[in-house]
Amino acid sequence: MIVRAKAPLRISFAGGGTDVAPYPEERGGCVLSCTIDRYSYCTLVLRDRSTINVKSLDYDIFTSYGLDEELNYDGTLDLVKAALKVVHVRRGMDIFIHSDVLPGAGLGASSAMTVALVGALAHWKRLHLSNYDIAELAYRIEREEAAIKGGRQDQYAATFGGFNFIQFLGGETVVSPLRIKRDTLNELQYRLMLCYTGKRRLSAGIIEDQIKGYLQKREEVICALDKTKKLAIDIKDALLMGKIDEVGLLLHQGWLAKKNFSSKITNPHIDELYEIATKNGALGGKLLGAGGGGYFLFLCQFDKWHKVAQELERCGGKVTNFAFDFYGLQTWEVSR
């Protein structure tokens, strides 16, 4: 038996950071995001033997575990180990994982990989899990079992797919799919731009800075989190009303707020790319993910898109084409 799964990566318009404890438990958080046609993949090949073989096709890493072996988290394929432990896998198999984008790009690839793992394992075990169940299980695997720091928006985005307004209300998460007009979606797609900064980033230190600032009740951090939460609502309303230019201007406000989360959010190269983009026709944008590198998201004037792309690439950025994904997690079986 062969089972495959794929889960989409995401772009977040606003609200990122308000999904990281303890902020949502104390003040309530919300995020506006959508998924794109970049994916993390998992393949399970069932075997009649007493080992589980895991191959990361991205990093060309191979390892093997005995079914009764104690799995230690040492930084190598920890997400897979955590998933095997939490889902209680006691069957020999080969597991292959890979992603269209490596972790550190700010597109939620690690969480999408966890969702794909959960989806494939649940499909194999015939577990009847809702999207909420899958997202929460992925969150538990990544954040609690593997102890990788971060929020909970990415697991829900990858599982549900499409455009979602996600609220974090104490210990409860509520996903509200947005019914955006087709004309608005086409215009948004036409004018958005993804640009790789040329540098991956490690989010843990940035998130720790944000949490530390919040726990210390630093006013600039709390105000920035409150601001980005409000912007998630404002951008949602702008999209539902088809106000594309307003989305760009709100993205700019969000970028200014995000930079107050931590001093590690930006650097001179990132600031230069942002200034070049806005000077040449971008209405606004933001760095995706925790910050420090990865991908920028810009919303451009339609007749300046190519000029913005040209200038960004001249300064070391790499513009990437993409399309929206509306399906979320998908699993299927393959005949041998």
CATH number at residue 86: 3.30.230.10
**Backbone φ/ψ region at 103: left (φ over 0), alpha (ψ -120 to 50), beta:** beta
Question: Does 28 share its domain with 144?
Answer: yes
> The domain that contains 308 carries what CATH number?
3.30.70.890
CB 33 within 8 A of CB 11: yes
Told to judge if 237 belongs to the known catalytic residues of this protein, a careful annotator would answer no
Q: What angle is formed at CA 1 by the lines to CA 58 and CA 112, rounded to 5 degrees?
A: 35
Question: Does 197 share its domain with 107?
Answer: no
Question: Does 147 share its domain with 193?
Answer: no
CB 294 within 8 A of CB 107: yes
pLDDT value at position 265? 84
pLDDT value at position 227? 95
Cα–Cα distance for residue pair 14/298, rounded to 1 Å = 13
Cα–Cα distance for residue pair 11/181, rounded to 1 Å = 19
Question: Does 52 share its domain with 165?
Answer: yes
Total domains present in the chain: 2
Question: Does 154 share its domain with 194?
Answer: no
Question: Does 160 share its domain with 263?
Answer: no
Question: Does 149 share its domain with 14?
Answer: yes
Residue 254 domain boundaries: 182-323
CB 64 within 8 A of CB 52: yes
Question: Does 186 share its domain with 129?
Answer: no
Per-residue pLDDT tens digits of the chain, which is 336 residues long: 999 999 999 999 999 999 999 999 999 999 999 999 999 999 999 999 999 999 999 989 999 999 989 999 998 999 999 999 999 999 999 999 999 997 778 999 999 999 999 999 999 999 999 999 999 999 999 999 999 989 999 999 999 999 999 999 988 999 999 999 999 999 999 999 999 998 765 555 778 888 888 888 889 989 999 999 999 999 999 999 999 999 999 999 999 988 888 777 888 999 999 999 999 999 999 999 867 789 999 999 999 999 999 999 999 999 999 999 999 999 999 987
The catalytically annotated residue of 19, 78, 100, 154 is 154
Question: Does 121 share its domain with 233?
Answer: no
pLDDT value at position 200? 65
Question: Does 271 share its domain with 171?
Answer: no
What does the H/E/C string look like for the chain? CEEEEEEEEEEEEECCCCCCCCHHHHHCEEEEEEEEEEEEEEEEEECCCCEEEEEECCCCEEEEEECCCCCCCCCCCHHHHHHHHHCCCCCCEEEEEEECCCCCCCCCHHHHHHHHHHHHHHHHHCCCCCHHHHHHHHHHHHHHHCCCCCCCHHHHHHHHCCEEEEEEECCEEEEEECCCCHHHHHHHHHHEEEEECCCCCCHHHHHHHHHHHHHCCCHHHHHHHHHHHHHHHHHHHHHHCCCHHHHHHHHHHHHHHHCCCCCCCCCHHHHHHHHHHHHCCEEEEEECCCCCCCEEEEEECHHHHHHHHHHHHHCCCEEECCCEECCCCEEEEECC
Please give the single-letter amino acid code of residue 293.
Answer: G
